[in-house]
Structure 1
Amino acid sequence: MLAFSHLLDRLSLEPRRLAKEALLIRYFQEVADPDRGFALAALTGGLSFKHAKPALLRALIGERTDPELFALSYDFVGDLSETIALMWPQAANGEVALKEAAPSLSEVVKRLEGAGKSEVPGLLTDWLDTLDETGRWALLKLVTGGLRVGVSARLAKTAVAKLGGLDVASVEEVWHGLEPPYEALFAWAEGFSGQPQTSDPAPFRPVMLAHPLDEDRDTELLNAEDFAVEWKWDGIRVQAAAGLTERGDRVRRLFSRTGEDISRAFPDILDLLTFDACIDGELLVVSDGQVRPFADLQKRLNRKTAGPKLIREYPAAIRAYDLLSVGGTDLREQPFAERRKALETFITGLPEGSIDLSPMVKVTGWEEITSARADPHAHLPPADADAVEGLMLKRWDAPYVTGRPKGLWFKWKREPYLIDAVLMYAQRGHGKRSSFYSDYTFGVWRDGEAGAELVPVGKAYFGFTDEELREIDRYVRNNTINRFGPVREVVHSAEKGLVLEVAFEGLNRSTRHKSGVAMRFPRISRLRWDKPAAEADRLETLQAMLPGEEG
């Protein structure tokens, strides 16, 4: 537990992605099984302790300190685990050598997994009495599942892959067929055995991504006839996978673009996965055949489960873009033209429901493509047209390649004054919002001396509902890394951060701003909980929007 707490402490203080990766690699090299495997599970969200809940932790600290003092401290600190760790009184045996008294990480995990509800308070109390301040904080972060140290699941998997020079995509291919403490995975990474053989019939396939289209340059250099043109729907990218185990049991999963299993939140989609295949598509809310606004889909995102009322009011659906496998055959090496034909045949064979085919845009030449992007209403029913945020262009001969390969896929958004930025700072509001962090400074990526860095480009304090305000406020309090008077700095790395879709009326050059640009009337268009911070826009995107720019 001491090594794990030291790791979390270092990760929480380290803003650089590569440095975090190095810390993880060193930990995995120096810590033996099964501790390192349970650490990996904790960092990737693979641990859950049903009896160790925040209410129990509040009750434990309530027995050790004044409730009013705790309430004031919690309001100031803003993090439950940190507040309890700081306020927990040192036990009388505080001089005991921690290396001898502290439990191992695997001991904590195994005892909590096997403990009954009445046993958990005693276990936590004993460990909190034994550990130092950092150890208590790490323990509480572990049991509540809210590590928040700026490490994404992909970064943790990347660190494991680099133990033996593996491709992280190959790790993700077998990930969902493995279980903590991942001893077979580490043995493979360190060269002691081959790739783990899993019988998972519905694995995650790492996604293929697109580059933004440069209207002036790319429309001159690229041959329009080489590309299929699709609508870019305003939902979230998902992967729907299903198949049969060797025993004949059907496994059904819905993955986000980053490989997170979101199946439990969309049981209505899982009911439709009666096939043996993997579909790449867009998750939307569709009612009476019409796509509903993204705000309706947002009501179903970030939920662990969905009740009947929510499903009835906001029915989920998938518009299918691609077919990655079918009947046990991997189609990803085939050109998009062949995969599209297979997808059309596959969708035709499905019963009528909430999985349909995303239609191609029937255009030829850049002039027609440009026209379709500007006016989707000329091609689609009004509700569907309103749900389109642009076009996707995919080379007909392109295989499905993990990552963001150059020249194969392009995205061309309709709205020129709409960007994805990362929340960097938050400040309390005024009047009825004085108790909420409601003024937000956001930034985009640029190349700095030490690599990619965020630079602030604007500030917004409206554009969101009261419900969304409460969500962002909670996020700010749980992810604060620094305080400057009334301003909180929020975690904003490539691996961890809240992406805000920001709309604005115009853009001008500015010598007063570090970024060199100033937005006019920015507002928060929506919260992109589904989008990794690393995929937010770059400063060059804004610079290309400046009046008089050549592109």
Structure 2
Amino acid sequence: MKPFALLLERLLYTPQRNAKLALLADYFAHVPDPDRGWGLAALTGSLAFRHARPGLVRELALRRADPVLFAWSYDFVGDLAETAALLWPEPQRHGAWPRLEEVVGGLAEGSRADLPDLLAGWLDRLDASGRWALLKLVTGGLRVGVSARLARLALAAHGGREAAEIEELWHGLEPPYRPLFAWLEGKAPPPSTGDLPVFRPLMLANPLEEADLARLAEDPEGLDAWQVEWKWDGIRIQIVAAPGGVRLYSRGGDDISGAFPEILGAVRFEGVLDGELLVQREDAPASFNDLQQRLNRKSVTPRMLADYPGLVRLYDILFDGPEDLRPLPLAERRARLEAFLERERPARMDLSPLVTATSLEALDRLRREARGMAMEGLMLKRRDSAYLAGRPKGPWWKWKRDPHTLDLVLMYAQRGHGRRSSFYSDFTFGAWQEGPRGPGLVPVGKAYSGYTDAELMALDRWIRSHTVRRFGPVREVEPALVLEIAFDSLHRSPRHKSGLAMRFPRVHRIRWDKPAAEAERLEVLEAMVS
């Protein structure tokens, strides 16, 4: 448990990506089985304990600490695990730390009735750092800046392998990953995934910048060398159908099959398809806001299926049956995809149409005219490109439409997580709306990115000195600071008080110079709804 706690603490205070990779690789190299495998499972979200809930942590902490002190501390710290770890009484003599294997086994096998005493016993054996790590493990709140993708990259570095090799094995493996580590260290052959429906790493596009456009304009082959498609406003997915089952994966390799049973039910073939998941409205793709109603759900109701039916718009084929098509040029894969769809005719799937234009200027007009439609812009792909894992520079470009920007007023702020847990870094902003007592603010979105570290510290100082009310960890601030917010689109949403939802809002600029009264009115946003 001690190496895992030390790893979490170092990851939390290490913002640099390469430094995180080095920490992870060192952990995999020096921590023995099975503890390193259980640590990997915790970091990648592959562990879940039935009876361990944040409410149990709060209950245990309140048994050992004054309730008022706990409430004040939690309000200041903003993180339940950290608050409980710091307030937990220090024993006169710490016992031996449990192995991570012991903790995982106890949490997995213990009954609900046994868990409070089990957890309290471990907490009494640890110092503050160990208690924090244990409680983060129990509640599944390991926000230390490590994604499953980053952990797999560290595994690749540890074993001197390509990340794509590990990606293709990952969904056929189970914690604590002994066969994986044995292979990476040259002690065994690669783990076999058999006929399981495993994820294949996606090929990703790079943003098309001005310099790239200039090079394209000078390309003697012109647009004839490129396949142009719409960039659909959904989420990238991969359908994998194998003898061992059918799965639907997100671009990061997360299994989202349970949220879209109608898509899985339409699969009557064997192969791997690449496309965009959308919601269908009257034979046309709907807005991303409609798709959001279906995302992040473990199961869906019949009403949800009827109101937000799924559609996959296909644009590539990786496997046709057992045949791997990825080495083929895109032009050949497109022909194979068209033949596949003609042969299989899968329900709830169609072919992404190609876009034709005689010049980059014409494509630019199409890109800008896509605003208000279910497209984010254009994709440009070389017709001779093989399907390569990752984001190779040159074969595929994404040419997104320009974002909207609006000046909106900061209303509420909340502390962030991880290394931002001491700063107010999550912001709710609003627009002015006329009311019976004059203009008032109505929330229209939240943002927690787009600013520099220096700007974050300046915002944090401003929020602390302009707080007018507190609601637990949330502060309401004086309506005096304007943030210029960039976002991709606006949609109707009955779930929000304003009736609107923004896609990908982020702080573009802090308008220290602008009076709050000059920020946008709600009717301006309503006129932009697509």
TM-score, normalising length: structure 1: 0.74
Matched AA of 2:60: L
Matched AA of 1:387: A
> Paired residue for 2:395, among 388, 393, 408?
408
What is the DSSP-based 3-state SS (H/G/I as helix, E as strand, rest coil) of the residue aligned with 1:363?
Answer: coil
Distance 1:140 1:215, change over 3 A: same
Any idea what the Cα deviations from partners look like across 1:141-175, whole Å, max 9, x if unmatched? Answer: 11111100111111111111112210011001101
Residue of structure 2 in register with 1:252 after alignment: 246
What is the DSSP-based 3-state SS (H/G/I as helix, E as strand, rest coil) of the residue aligned with 1:390?
Answer: strand
What is the DSSP-based 3-state SS (H/G/I as helix, E as strand, rest coil) of the residue aligned with 2:327?
Answer: coil
Distance 1:467 1:55, change over 3 A: farther
How do residues 232-271 of structure 1 correspond to structure 2 at under 5 angstroms?
232-245=231-244, 251-271=245-265
Any idea what the Cα deviations from partners look like across 1:364-395, whole Å, max 9, x if unmatched? Answer: 44454344334459xxxxxxx71112111111
Q: Is the 8 A contact 1:460 1:524 kept in 2?
A: no
Shift of 1:460: 8.9
Q: Is the 8 A contact 2:430 2:443 kept in 1?
A: no
Shift of 1:472: 6.4
Distance 1:504 1:50, change over 3 A: closer
Distance 1:220 1:104, change over 3 A: same
Residue of structure 1 in register with 2:59 after alignment: 59
Asked whether 1:294 is paired with 2:288, we answer yes
Distance 1:361 1:57, change over 3 A: same
How do residues 223-234 of structure 1 correspond to structure 2 at under 5 angstroms?
223-234=222-233
Any idea what the Cα deviations from partners look like across 1:169-189, whole Å, max 9, x if unmatched? Answer: 100110100111111111111
Matched AA of 2:115: V
Q: Is the 8 A contact 2:429 2:444 kept in 1?
A: no
Shift of 1:243: 1.4
> Paired residue for 1:185, among 174, 180, 187?
180
Matched AA of 2:105: K
Quote the Cα distance in structure 2 between the aligned partners of 1:363 and 1:134: 60
Residue of structure 2 in register with 1:25 after alignment: 25
Q: Is the 8 A contact 2:487 2:504 kept in 1?
A: no
Q: Is the 8 A contact 2:268 2:346 kept in 1?
A: no
Any idea what the Cα deviations from partners look like across 1:422-468, whole Å, max 9, x if unmatched? Answer: xxxxx9x76xx44x4499xxxxxxxxxxxxxxxxxxx9934899585
What is the DSSP-based 3-state SS (H/G/I as helix, E as strand, rest coil) of the residue aligned with 1:116?
Answer: coil
Distance 1:188 1:352, change over 3 A: closer
More divergent stretch after superposition (33-42 vs 303-312): 303-312
Any idea what the Cα deviations from partners look like across 1:472-513, whole Å, max 9, x if unmatched? Answer: 69xxxxxx999944659xxxxxxxxxxx992499xxxxxxxx
Residue of structure 2 in register with 1:164 after alignment: 159
Residue of structure 1 in register with 2:84 after alignment: 84
Residue of structure 1 in register with 2:45 after alignment: 45
What is the DSSP-based 3-state SS (H/G/I as helix, E as strand, rest coil) of the residue aligned with 1:349?
Answer: helix
Asked whether 1:216 is paired with 2:214, we answer yes
What is the DSSP-based 3-state SS (H/G/I as helix, E as strand, rest coil) of the residue aligned with 1:399?
Answer: coil
Distance 1:73 1:307, change over 3 A: farther
What is the DSSP-based 3-state SS (H/G/I as helix, E as strand, rest coil) of the residue aligned with 2:218?
Answer: helix
Shift of 1:55: 1.8
Quote the Cα distance in structure 2 between the aligned partners of 1:57 and 1:195: 40
Quote the Cα distance in structure 1 between the aligned partners of 2:237 and 2:116: 39
How do residues 388-467 of structure 1 correspond to structure 2 at under 5 angstroms?
388-413=375-400, 415-417=401-403, 433-434=411-412, 436-437=413-414, 461-462=429-430
Any idea what the Cα deviations from partners look like across 1:2-30, whole Å, max 9, x if unmatched? Answer: 11101101110111111111111111111
What is the DSSP-based 3-state SS (H/G/I as helix, E as strand, rest coil) of the residue aligned with 1:461?
Answer: strand
Matched AA of 1:228: Q
More divergent stretch after superposition (133-142 vs 219-228): 219-228
What is the DSSP-based 3-state SS (H/G/I as helix, E as strand, rest coil) of the residue aligned with 1:386?
Answer: coil
Q: Is the 8 A contact 2:169 2:198 kept in 1?
A: yes
Quote the Cα distance in structure 2 between the aligned partners of 1:152 and 1:504: 24
What is the DSSP-based 3-state SS (H/G/I as helix, E as strand, rest coil) of the residue aligned with 1:311?
Answer: helix
Quote the Cα distance in structure 2 between the aligned partners of 1:23 and 1:134: 17
Shift of 1:280: 0.8
Matched AA of 1:301: L
Quote the Cα distance in structure 2 between the aligned partners of 1:52 and 1:90: 23
Quote the Cα distance in structure 2 between the aligned partners of 1:297 and 1:388: 13
Quote the Cα distance in structure 1 between the aligned partners of 2:134 and 2:488: 43
Residue of structure 1 in register with 2:332 after alignment: 338
Matched AA of 2:306: R
Distance 1:376 1:59, change over 3 A: closer
How do residues 64-213 of structure 1 correspond to structure 2 at under 5 angstroms?
64-91=64-91, 94-96=92-94, 98=95, 101-213=96-208
Residue of structure 1 in register with 2:527 after alignment: none
What is the DSSP-based 3-state SS (H/G/I as helix, E as strand, rest coil) of the residue aligned with 1:82?
Answer: helix
Distance 1:133 1:209, change over 3 A: same
Quote the Cα distance in structure 2 between the aligned partners of 1:76 and 1:482: 18
Q: Percent identity?
A: 48
> Paired residue for 1:284, among 278, 288, 300?
278
Q: Is the 8 A contact 2:232 2:374 kept in 1?
A: yes
Residues paired across the two proteins, number: 447
* Structure 2 residue ranges without an equivalent (≥5): 417-426, 432-440, 450-455, 465-483, 490-499, 509-530
Quote the Cα distance in structure 2 between the aligned partners of 1:67 and 1:7: 31
> Paired residue for 2:374, among 379, 387, 391?
387
TM-score, normalising length: structure 2: 0.77
Shift of 1:273: 2.8
What is the DSSP-based 3-state SS (H/G/I as helix, E as strand, rest coil) of the residue aligned with 1:159?
Answer: helix
Asked whether 1:348 is paired with 2:342, we answer yes
Q: Is the 8 A contact 2:64 2:89 kept in 1?
A: yes
Residue of structure 1 in register with 2:320 after alignment: 326
Quote the Cα distance in structure 1 between the aligned partners of 2:152 and 2:254: 13
More divergent stretch after superposition (389-398 vs 310-319): 310-319
Give RMSD over aligned pairs: 3.3
Q: Is the 8 A contact 2:43 2:146 kept in 1?
A: yes
